[in-house]
Amino acid sequence: MRIQDRIYQAFTGSRPNVLGKVLEDISPRKATKTKHKKLSERTMQLIATAASIAILISAGFGGFAYYRDYFAGQKPGGDSTLNGTNPGITQPTTPPTDPNSPDELLMWIEEDARQIICPGATAETLPVEVVLDLMYPEQDRYASNCYVASAAYEGYHYALYYTQEGVLSRIGVLRSSDAQGYISQTVAQRKALLAYAQKQHGPCVASGSELVDDTYYKVRISGEYYQWSTLVYIDAYSGELAAPEDTADLNYRMDDMIYPRVLMSSIYMPPILPVQTVTEDGIEKYCFTRTENGYCYEFKFSTADYTLLSIAVLDCECEKTGHISEFLAGWIAQMDIDPDYYGRVHGIDFGLQLIDDSVYYVEVQHEGNDANYAYYIDARSGQILQAIEDAEPITTALEARNIALAANGHSIEELKDLAITRNGFNHAITVSYQVDSTRYQTVIAMFSGKVLSQTERNETASRGDENRSNVIGWQKARDIALEVCGRQKTHMIGFDYTFANDIYQFDFVFADASSTCRINARTGGIQNSNAEGNQLSQETATDIALNYVNLSADQVSDLTATLSGNTSYLVSFEANSIHYEITVHDTSGLILEVKLPITTRPQSIGFDIFAGYNGNWLRQGLTHAYDSPAQLQLAQLFSKGFDTETTTPTDEEIAYLNTVWPTDWPQEDLIRLPAEQMDQVLQQYYGIRLEELGTACFDGLVYMESTNCYYCMAGNSAALELNDIKAYRVETISDGSLRLYYYLHQRQFEPWVVTLRQNDREWVILSNQHLEDITDPNSGEPDVPDGSISFWGAAELAMEYTGLTDLEHVTVTGNRIDDHYVIYLNDTDILYKVTVKAYHSFDILDFEMIPLVEGGIQYKFESMLMDHDGWYNAAIAHQFASLEELQLKELFCTGFPGESTEFTAEELAPFPEEEGYYGDLIRLPKEKMDAVLRAYFGTFLSQLDGQCFAGLKYLESTGCYYSCVSDVNRPEEVVIWGAEFIDFELLQVRYRLSYEDGAPFFLLTLRYLPGGSWQIISNVQE
Amino acid sequence: MQENDGFVDCYSERGDEMLHQASKSDLDGWIRDMRHGDRDALAKLYHATSGAVYGYALSIVKNRHDAEDVLHDCYVTLWDKAAEYRSQDKPMAWILTITRNLCLKLLRQPDTIPLEELSYIAAPSADPAEAATLRICMQVLSEQEREIVVLHAVAGLKHRQIAKLLGLKHATVMSKYRRALQKLKASF
């Protein structure tokens, strides 16, 4: 059972059932008193209050009063029972089928009765209507204090308000048509809705209407989520779709056809378009122009069927490129996927690229079904040239590499310096490599695999021009500026970038001094800088530095203060065997840097202080995290107990502990911790007394007063082996204490920080924390420039990129190499090697991803190497440091299936029977050997040295090699211990041939080939 | 990919009770119905989410009696607060936030007695393996690690959602979760 399932079971398996009590205890919903405001007399009048439905009916509504019984949950139809279950309110997703259909759903009212909102409708109510308030209603209103039914009667529609108890509290009425001989506004809206529904434009609502010239209604119809709207004209007398004016009709129809295609910034209100009719080439077209997103467009549609005929970009001041905007290209692609649903198709990621200045390549992912589409769209007319459905994304870097190689006509052997990066926003992959002195860069569309662009350049001529944006990035520029001006990031008050000449400008203020620095964005060079303020004296800088570490001049030696560069003093001195170097800004007096150079760090700090196993209380301090000694977990700290204490419990101890632990506690695991000794350790190594610790520190310990000892069971915290601690940085912090940054192999290379202080040459641990938990804003991951990501940040990105987000299946390992992280993600299905650049500017991060081992590394290689019929198993039966040392006799010692036919006299001749050869003779056809060598070793017989053929005899007449095998020694058991990439494609698998301790390790080196196969390079003992 | 509540994914795998049927929209719908006094909706919500609520409460208050109280109070609160609920596609996060607040309120009460005896956290009738698992979770994991593990394994929240709920960084949650699992693996 998985750990997660165990936890789930444990935490929920025996949960009590309190539902009955909850239902008992929930208070009946109290009908709060409605604040009955005085309602507009024009639209609503209070006409009655009644105590029951009977009164309602007797008031004359009769069968016209459709109401729905909330309590009985019954359909409308006159049932007046007011008991039962509230059926709730749902909103219809389809328009009504008939303008005069009866109530299907109820209206509800907001608490203060200002708004009546009708999610469903009677013949005389709107699908969504604000009766009393023109404020646009939210869709999630509810009635907390009363229920509302609606009714239609003689041209009026009514809202009937009920209390929780079923008492009819009041009735509102909306005057609509007033019997003028034409249909009511409501019915007009319903008609308009149906007209749209019939045109299959999906769910829509009427959001307003107006009677014009006493002849027709102008009804505004909007998409279900108000993502579009248009006007529909309804004859006020007949209720038919009307076109009262040619222009208006044209506008209506243009809206209708344009919006699916040209949905731009005016989402909520359609434009009133000055539409012209033009005739071109004998075809009548509607034509209109519109300016959006900096482009002036001219759209032409067929007057016959409203087909979009062309989009042109007019020559205007704002844009003269002649091609449509990326935005419009994206929308054209989206609308093509599902035009009937307007904005409900969300292309969540655009891969947009203008190819050859004439064609847009657009990728859209349908948010509903995750299908991918790729489009080629004419950049000038907006016409779709090609649409690719279900475009398959490229998932591996190697796949991209192979596409690039094929496009450029290169082979894998030729290339060097391969870099594969994913272009952050554009969903494209850039493959860059060098052949001879030429660097080839190929941009590939991620979904279609199409080559978008190919460039070549002479590498020797343009070396150093790798950065695609060719600017250093604002963070690097800022760091330069900080250095130049001697400021900190918090002092930056202004930042600007001048595109014209690629200059970053940074403004800083500290105390009364302000400064400005201008950095060349391409070279990082300082354009100019200026600062205001007076330079500090050497003495003042020294005082500031000493004061900062709380030392006086007589406590230090070798004190020097020199101007460093032109903006700061470097103050250095020795104190308590620690060499300090403090940089002080020469104008502001700001401490810029406090550092302890590695070369001068005291010998006493390092791994040696954590040496030893039992009894090293500093080492035990690394077992868990704590921000201060007051948070120590004593059960962890003392998990190995004291050497002086025998663990055999006395009868008294057993009797006592039986009262606090289950009686079958394992006595041999008991750890006895005398309080006095604990106190001594705590004082000496952690600077705290036992009595100063809170109760939380004693979690897991049992105290026995008569012995003055604490007791616990041997835990799993386990002191760590010394060689598992990999310290990588030591630094001093402001109070003179030291921080030792380290990784622990057992903790998957998580960065930890232990903070120590030296008291009389004894080290005291102040804290042991995860790096990420250090709150000091000035501390970051060591040796990592600001702006770079942490190991775990990189791992997170790698996991997100590979889709391996569920950590329970993924083992994350890796390391930082120079300016990038190499992260291995090993889940049950696949092993990924992801290279993540540690430094990033803006939002772009580059990845390399190589899925290497399907089936999981351990499973994969164990099954591969233990297949006794397979050639990998045969290969590891002997050692060879290179293929020159391969022993074919060993490799092919079991022969080939089907080659066990009777040997001819000619074949037997070289192997006399008296020498005992016959029984073990094997026949090895040259072709079969070559096939194996080619497939599994990437070589041929003809390429192997003579020493590889030792023990084989070749018979030219049969084309076979022969060998007498005395012993077949294929490995029976293979235990994989790990695997590591030693090159881009070379994987070194570490394994043993036995589970037994002391069994030697072997290293099998394999080369990964496209398609998922592995070539054997060497097999040697470690 | 649209981020979802996480709840559906989790329970569609587990097939536990009616949870496999409970989608985010189901939860939303039930809460909406509760506004109108629908007790059936409350019952459905209870059946669908009580495991997560109880498990999460148990992970914080560390004893089953308090967790039971929180379980009860949580659904009474949900009933009373249903009117205030605004669907933001995160019904489970809302429920667990209420759960957490109730737990913290309980722990702040001076008369709350911290449980000394760890075996007490499991029901007397509980399976010994369950009891052992609970004990290990309580002993080995820190408060925050336990919360994270339970929110993921029991309530089915994604790490990103847990980060939001607990006010932690996403990377912190991931690393703490992984550390917690390693601790548990070593202890089981």
Q: What pLDDT band is residue A234 in, cutting at 50, 70 and 90?
A: confident
Residues of chain B found within 8 Å of residue A88, distances taken between Cβ atoms: 29, 32-33, 36, 38, 41
Residues of chain A found within 8 Å of residue B51, distances taken between Cβ atoms: 8, 11-12, 15
Q: Which residue has the higher pLDDT, A901 or A469?
A: A901
Q: Which residue of A has its CA nearest to B65?
A: A16
| Helical spans, DSSP H, in A622-730 | 634-637, 651-660, 675-686
User: In one letter, which amino acid is A536?
Assistant: L
A458 forms beta bridges with: A438
CB under 8 A, 24+ apart: contacts of A570-574: A571/A541, A571/A542, A571/A544, A571/A545, A571/A546, A573/A545, A573/A546
DSSP state of A683: H
Pairwise CA distance, residues A781 & A729, whole Å: 10
Q: Worst-scoring range by mean pLDDT, A298-307, A516-525, A679-688, B4-13?
A: B4-13
Interface test with A, best of B34, B175, B177 (most A CBs within 10 A): B175
Pairwise CA distance, residues B56 & B95, whole Å: 11
Residue A34: its pLDDT value, please? Answer: 26
Residue A200: its pLDDT value, please? Answer: 47
Across the interface, whether the CB atoms of B38 and A27 are under 8 A apart is answered: no
Q: Worst-scoring range by mean pLDDT, A71-75, A310-314, A710-714?
A: A71-75
Report the gap between the CA of A11 and the closest CA in chain B (Å): 5
Q: What pLDDT band is residue A488 in, cutting at 50, 70 and 90?
A: low
Check whether A842 has a pLDDT greater than 80: no
Across the interface, whether the CB atoms of A9 and B59 are under 8 A apart is answered: no
Q: Say whether residue B7 is in contact with chain A using an 8 A CB cutoff.
A: no
Interface test with B, best of A12, A624, A632, A788 (most B CBs within 10 A): A12
Pairwise CA distance, residues B46 & B74, whole Å: 10
Share of chain B above pLDDT 90, in %: 1
- Nearest Cα neighbor of A33 from A150, A142, A141, A111 is A111
Report the gap between the CA of B35 and the closest CA in chain A (Å): 7
Is A948:A971 a contact under the CB 8 Å cutoff? Answer: no
pLDDT in tens, B96-134: 888 888 888 777 665 544 433 333 444 555 567 777 777
Q: What pLDDT band is residue A1019 in, cutting at 50, 70 and 90?
A: very high
Is A612:A771 a contact under the CB 8 Å cutoff? Answer: no
Mean pLDDT value of segment A645-672: 78
Residues of chain A found within 8 Å of residue B131, distances taken between Cβ atoms: 10
Check whether A303 has a pLDDT greater than 90: no
pLDDT in tens, A661-683: 776 777 777 888 899 999 999 98
Report the gap between the CA of A365 and the closest CA in chain B (Å): 10
Across the interface, whether the CB atoms of A772 and B175 are under 8 A apart is answered: yes
- Nearest Cα neighbor of A564 from A586, A597, A539, A589 is A586
Q: Worst-scoring range by mean pLDDT, A440-444, A760-764, A772-776, B77-81?
A: A772-776
Q: Is the dihedral of CA A766, A767, A771, A775 positive or negative?
A: negative
Ramachandran sector of residue A1001 (left: φ over 0; alpha: ψ -120 to 50; beta: rest): beta
Across the interface, whether the CB atoms of B51 and A12 are under 8 A apart is answered: yes
Which of A6, A28, A793 is the closest to B133 by Cβ?
A6
Across the interface, whether the CB atoms of B169 and A772 are under 8 A apart is answered: yes
Across A372-381, A515-524, A681-690, B58-67, which has the greatest mean pLDDT? A681-690
Q: What pLDDT band is residue A514 in, cutting at 50, 70 and 90?
A: low
- Nearest Cα neighbor of A802 from A346, A449, A431, A393 is A393
A196 forms beta bridges with: none
Q: What pLDDT band is residue A543 in, cutting at 50, 70 and 90?
A: confident
Which of B59, B125, B172 is the closest to A772 by Cβ?
B172
Check whether B184 has a pLDDT greater than 50: yes
Q: Which residue has the higher pLDDT, A701 or A477?
A: A701
Q: What pLDDT band is residue A269 in, cutting at 50, 70 and 90?
A: very low
Q: What is the count of residue pairs from A and B with beta carbons less than 8 Å apart?
A: 168
3-state secondary structure of A275: coil
Residue A344: its pLDDT value, please? Answer: 40
CB interface of B with A, residues 38-57, below 8 Å: 38-43, 46-47, 50-52, 54-56
Mean pLDDT value of segment A789-807: 62
Q: Say whether residue B153 is in contact with chain A using an 8 A CB cutoff.
A: yes
Q: How many helices (H) and strands (E) does chain A have?
A: 20, 46
Report the gap between the CA of B134 and the closest CA in chain A (Å): 6
Mean pLDDT value of segment A1003-1015: 79
Q: Which residue has the higher pLDDT, A492 or B51?
A: B51
pLDDT in tens, A557-606: 888 888 766 567 888 887 765 667 777 777 766 666 655 433 333 333 34
Residues of chain A found within 8 Å of residue B43, distances taken between Cβ atoms: 19, 23
Residues of chain A found within 8 Å of residue B134, distances taken between Cβ atoms: 10-11
Q: Say whether residue B65 is in contact with chain A using an 8 A CB cutoff.
A: no
Q: Which residue has the higher pLDDT, A223 or A210?
A: A210
Across the interface, whether the CB atoms of A19 and B46 are under 8 A apart is answered: yes
- Nearest Cα neighbor of A109 from A58, A149, A165 is A149
Mean pLDDT value of segment A472-479: 67
Q: Say whether residue B111 is in contact with chain A using an 8 A CB cutoff.
A: no
Q: Worst-scoring range by mean pLDDT, A342-351, A625-634, A886-895?
A: A342-351
pLDDT, mean over chain B: 72
Report the gap between the CA of B106 and the closest CA in chain A (Å): 18
Interface test with B, best of A11, A86, A108, A369 (most B CBs within 10 A): A11
Residues of chain B found within 8 Å of residue A812, distances taken between Cβ atoms: 178
Q: Worst-scoring range by mean pLDDT, A4-13, A232-241, A282-291, A784-793?
A: A784-793
Check whether A703 has a pLDDT greater than 80: yes
Pairwise CA distance, residues A468 & A430, whole Å: 10
Q: Which residue has the higher pLDDT, A737 or A710?
A: A710
Pairwise CA distance, residues A24 & A26, whole Å: 6
Pairwise CA distance, residues A49 & A246, whole Å: 50
Burial string for B99-133 (b: 16+ CB within 10 Å, else e) reads bbebbeebeeeeeeeebeebeebbbeebeeebbbb
Q: What pLDDT band is residue A468 in, cutting at 50, 70 and 90?
A: very low
Q: Worst-scoring range by mean pLDDT, A45-49, A641-645, A700-704, A991-995?
A: A45-49
Give me the interface pTM, i.e. the ipTM: 0.81
- Nearest Cα neighbor of A311 from A262, A253, A259, A250 is A262
Q: What is the CA radius of gyration of chain A?
A: 41
Is A292:A375 a contact under the CB 8 Å cutoff? Answer: no
3-state DSSP helix/strand/coil percent for chain B, to nearest 5? 75, 0, 25
The continuous run of DSSP H or E covering A1021 comes out as strand A1013-1021
DSSP state of A74: B
Share of chain A above pLDDT 70, in %: 45
pLDDT in tens, B8-33: 333 333 334 434 456 777 888 888 88
Q: What pLDDT band is residue A85 in, cutting at 50, 70 and 90?
A: very low
Q: Which residue has the higher pLDDT, A119 or A940?
A: A940
pLDDT in tens, A101-113: 333 333 333 333 3
pLDDT, mean over chain A: 64
Q: How does DSSP assign B78-145, residue by residue?
A: HHHHGGG---SS-HHHHHHHHHHHHHHHHHHSTTPPPP--GGGGS-TTS-HHHHHHHHHHHHHS-HHH
Q: What pLDDT band is residue A839 in, cutting at 50, 70 and 90?
A: low
Q: Worst-scoring range by mean pLDDT, A111-125, A155-169, A462-476, A644-658?
A: A111-125
Q: Which residue has the higher pLDDT, A230 or A270?
A: A230
- Nearest Cα neighbor of A459 from A440, A480, A431 is A440
Q: What pLDDT band is residue A323 in, cutting at 50, 70 and 90?
A: confident
Across the interface, whether the CB atoms of B184 and A19 are under 8 A apart is answered: no
Share of chain A above pLDDT 90, in %: 2
Report the gap between the CA of A56 and the closest CA in chain B (Å): 23
Is A711:A673 a contact under the CB 8 Å cutoff? Answer: yes
3-state DSSP helix/strand/coil percent for chain A, to nearest 5? 25, 30, 45
Q: Say whether residue B18 is in contact with chain A using an 8 A CB cutoff.
A: no
Q: Is the dihedral of CA A322, A328, A334, A337 positive or negative?
A: negative
Mean pLDDT value of segment A12-30: 71
Q: Which residue of B has its CA nearest to A10?
A: B130
Across A211-215, A219-223, A872-876, which has the greatest mean pLDDT? A872-876
Distances (CA, A) of A712 to A633, A663, A704, A795, B139: 12, 14, 11, 37, 12
Longest dimension (CA), chain B: 50
Ramachandran sector of residue A88 (left: φ over 0; alpha: ψ -120 to 50; beta: rest): left
Pairwise CA distance, residues A199 & A16, whole Å: 55
Check whether A128 has a pLDDT greater than 70: no
Residue B164: its pLDDT value, please? Answer: 75
The continuous run of DSSP H or E covering A364 comes out as strand A359-365
Across the interface, whether the CB atoms of A18 and B80 are under 8 A apart is answered: no
Q: How does DSSP assign A611-648, residue by residue?
A: --STT-HHHHTTSS-BSSGGG--HHHHTTT--TT---P
Residues of chain B found within 8 Å of residue A73, distances taken between Cβ atoms: none
Q: Is the dihedral of CA A912, A918, A920, A923 positive or negative?
A: positive
Is A926:A960 a contact under the CB 8 Å cutoff? Answer: yes
Q: In what order do the strands lie in the sheet with A847-854?
A: A811-817, A820-826, A830-837, A847-854
Residues 6+ apart with CB under 8 A from A573: A545, A546, A551, A556, A557, A558, A559, A560, A579, A580
DSSP state of A73: T
Residue A346: its pLDDT value, please? Answer: 46
Report the gap between the CA of B54 and the closest CA in chain A (Å): 7
Residues of chain B found within 8 Å of residue A10, distances taken between Cβ atoms: 122, 129-131, 133-134, 137
Pairwise CA distance, residues A992 & A865, whole Å: 11
Residue A11: its pLDDT value, please? Answer: 78
Report the gap between the CA of A369 and the closest CA in chain B (Å): 10
Q: Which residue has the higher pLDDT, A433 or A512?
A: A433
3-state secondary structure of B26: helix
Across the interface, whether the CB atoms of B153 and A7 are under 8 A apart is answered: yes
Residues of chain A found within 8 Å of residue B137, distances taken between Cβ atoms: 7, 10-11
Residues of chain B found within 8 Å of residue A796, distances taken between Cβ atoms: 170-171, 174
Is B165:B147 a contact under the CB 8 Å cutoff? Answer: no
Is A989:A1010 a contact under the CB 8 Å cutoff? Answer: no
Pairwise CA distance, residues A33 & A113, whole Å: 11
Give this prediction's pTM: 0.29
Which of B47, B137, B171 is the closest to A10 by Cβ?
B137
Across the interface, whether the CB atoms of A11 and B36 are under 8 A apart is answered: no
Is A812:A825 a contact under the CB 8 Å cutoff? Answer: yes
pLDDT in tens, A192-212: 777 766 554 556 777 677 777
- Nearest Cα neighbor of A772 from B162, B173, B144 is B173
Q: How does DSSP assign A462-505, residue by residue?
A: HTT---SS-S--HHHHHHHHHHHHT--GGGEEEEEEETTTTEEE
Across the interface, whether the CB atoms of A772 and B159 are under 8 A apart is answered: no
Across A467-481, A657-671, A803-817, which has the greatest mean pLDDT? A657-671
User: In one letter, which amino acid is B40?
Assistant: D
pLDDT in tens, A854-903: 555 666 777 788 887 788 988 898 899 988 889 888 888 888 877 766 77
